[in-house]
Amino acid sequence: MTTPFHFREGSAPLLISMPHAGTAIPADIAAQMLPVALAKADTDWHLPLLYDMADGLGASVISAEYSRYVIDLNRAPDNANLYPGQDTTGLCPVDTFHKQPLYVADKLPSAAEVQRRIAAYWQPYHQQLQAELARLLSVHGHVLLWDAHSIASQVPRFFAGKLPDLNFGTADSVSCDLGLQDALMQVLKQSPAAQAYTHVFNGRFKGGYITRHYGQPARRIHAVQLEMSQCLYMDEAAPYAYRPALAQQLQPLLKQLLQGGLNWVVQHGGAA
């Protein structure tokens, strides 16, 4: 089996996680799926390319190899709903964001199959994530975990109308120090590049399992999720092409946000 993640070790106290960027689907699972699943429409497309400034910032980067349709790395292993009372997709999704079935009717993943996928795909990603957070914490005494996501700008299942361009989640200001959140807000306020984009903190997307579970500011691990509207850098219709000209307008702001968060963590993140 292909390694279920891609990882590069960096030198700065910054780890960028991309749990939904994977596109691979193992042949045995694909054989049980309907054609709509193989289009992988709900992928966080092209994020490793969009975040190509990561190496220059000294960031460590981990990204998924396998599609979220295989298993969702940003869900709890017990499949607890992140947004009680609201519709969402689960640990092993059975439908798309538009409620199209992913599987042939009698081929839904069994409880045993879900556990197999947790062991084969979910646990290795999280073990690497934990190990790198521990390493960065031991080297620097503090760390910023940036959970990178993107989504179509309009998905009626989850939200009405068009989503803001930049959706920051800090688990209602619990997963990171308020000073870090304020530092990101200052970047958005002061950067000329930010004026072209709308943003919100802790709106519909407050952060998934990774942000909520690993963000522990008391332990000097500060986690932020950024969910971006895909119309900012790509075509939202198949074949979901990357739009370099659009991306190049967005990337300076992404770099400024990452650098602003990193600067705050270096200056303040080690405070008791």
Task: Starting at the earlier edge strand, list the strands of the sheet with 143-151.
Answer: 5-8, 60-64, 14-18, 143-151, 221-229, 166-169, 199-201
In the prediction, which pLDDT does 18 show? 99
Instruction: List Cβ<8 Å contacts ≥24 apart for 110-116.
Output: 114/71
pLDDT tens string, the chain, 272 residues long: the values are 679 999 999 999 999 999 999 999 999 999 999 999 999 999 999 999 999 999 999 999 999 999 999 999 999 999 887 877 677 788 999 999 999 999 999 999 999 999 999 999 999 999 999 999 999 999 999 999 999 999 999 999 998 899 999 999 999 999 999 999 999 999 999 999 999 999 999 998 999 999 999 999 999 999 999 999 999 999 999 999 999 999 999 999 999 999 999 999 999 865 54
End-to-end CA distance of the chain: 43
Residue whose structure tokens are 């200056």: 267
Spatial CB neighbours of 165, under 8 Å, sequence gap ≥ 6:
197, 198, 199, 228, 229, 232
What is the per-residue pLDDT for 269? 65
- Structural domains counted in the chain: 1
Is the link from the previous residue into 77 a cis peptide, with omega within 30 of 0?
A: no
- Give me the pLDDT at residue 82, please: 80
Please list, residue by residue across 101-139, b when 16 or more beta carbons sit within 10 angstroms of its beta carbon and e when fewer do. Answer: ebbeeeeebeeeebeebbeebbebbbebbeebbeebeee
Single out the residue of 206, 32, 160, 182 nearest to residue 107, CA to CA. Answer: 32
- Tell me which amino acid residue 203 is: G
Give residue 197's domain range. 5-268
DSSP-based three-state secondary structure for 148: strand
Q: 245 CB contacts (<8 Å, ≥6 apart)?
A: none
* Distance from C-alpha of 141 to C-alpha of 193, rounded to nearest angstrom: 32
- Give pTM, 2 decimals: 0.96
Q: What is the pLDDT of residue 268?
A: 87
Q: Which domain CATH number covers 83?
A: 3.40.630.40
Which residues are CB-neighbours of 249 under 8 A, at least 6 positions away? 193, 196
Give me the pLDDT at residue 264, please.
Answer: 97
Tokens of 218: 């008391």
Confidence at residue 1, expressed as pLDDT on a 0 to 100 scale: 65
